[in-house]
Structure 1
């Protein structure tokens, strides 16, 4: 028998995931209710700030780790972002495409701009970003968002295949 203070301090993985809005199954969620006269609509629960922050941290971590690979550093960044999306798709049961795509886009867009500043002579880099900064950030954001979405889709697909009855 455990003491009550031990049971409170030992949380299961399901409890932690449910706090992050990742562990709840879509089919087991209760039907939407109206509280306080407010309407619940189709887009309730579309965006979770906690999941977004987790996805952003994982995307930045994957970008850094993937970029540290010596020969394939540039491509490794996108593999790292895709791996972050894959991990969140594999662990969570809810679809979180908005959060994953936005986190991958922000991480890669900032990485493209910062790598341009760091890799080119400073006065030239400032002029280059003044002329083409939006295009550079846009290409990075688009490619990072796509990498995160593809990774999340593949993670959800694998999870579905592993949990489906044979």
Structure 2
């Protein structure tokens, strides 16, 4: 039975929001599993359940900010790229710790984009003057992919360990 608006508590709004999210998830699952749903809708539902563009954008902002922050504040002379990778790892770790579902794929992709662009831009003269730009950017993207995936894995592992029943 619905409550009157003057009798609602603070927690009832959160309960209503949670029920709405659960109803939306159930509706999308039933739509994706029904025989009348098109192949494209089922494929889109599966693709979003594996790789979320929204989580990727959050990861890109968080990992990019971690990379810039670590490069600016961690005093490693001549090793700015290593400090940036440390920032990518920490950003992915925080994202894996904060988000309930696995964010390894999104964090790995965001780490690859952030580290690849940072490597390309930090060695812009070498990129323009010689043919070493593409292999250098590929190496930076590969190390960023590895740092992002490892950070998300360890963050999610810590979250699972902290929330598991003893």
- TM-score category by the smaller chain? 0.7 to 0.9
Alignment of 1:6-155 (within 5 A): 30=26, 32-34=29-31, 37-39=37-39, 40=42, 42-68=46-72, 69-71=74-76, 72-117=79-124, 122=125, 125-128=127-130, 131-155=131-155
- Per-residue displacement from partner, 1:3-41 (whole Å, max 9, x unpaired)? 8xxx7xxx98xx7xxx9xxxx9xxxx6483235622435
SS at match of 2:50: coil
Unmatched runs of 5 consecutive residues or more in structure 1: none
Alpha-carbon separation, structure 2, partners of 1:88 and 1:126:
35
Alpha-carbon separation, structure 2, partners of 1:152 and 1:133:
28
Larger Rg: 2
Alpha-carbon separation, structure 2, partners of 1:78 and 1:110:
12
**1:43 Cα shift?**
4.0
Alpha-carbon separation, structure 2, partners of 1:125 and 1:48:
32
SS at match of 1:162: helix
Question: More helix by proportion, 1 or 2?
Answer: 2
Alpha-carbon separation, structure 1, partners of 2:146 and 2:63:
12
Alpha-carbon separation, structure 1, partners of 2:30 and 2:48:
11
Higher RCO (C-alpha 8 Å, min separation 6): 1
**Matched positions, count:** 140
SS at match of 1:111: helix
- Per-residue displacement from partner, 1:53-110 (whole Å, max 9, x unpaired)? 1100011101101111222533111110011110111011111222111100000000
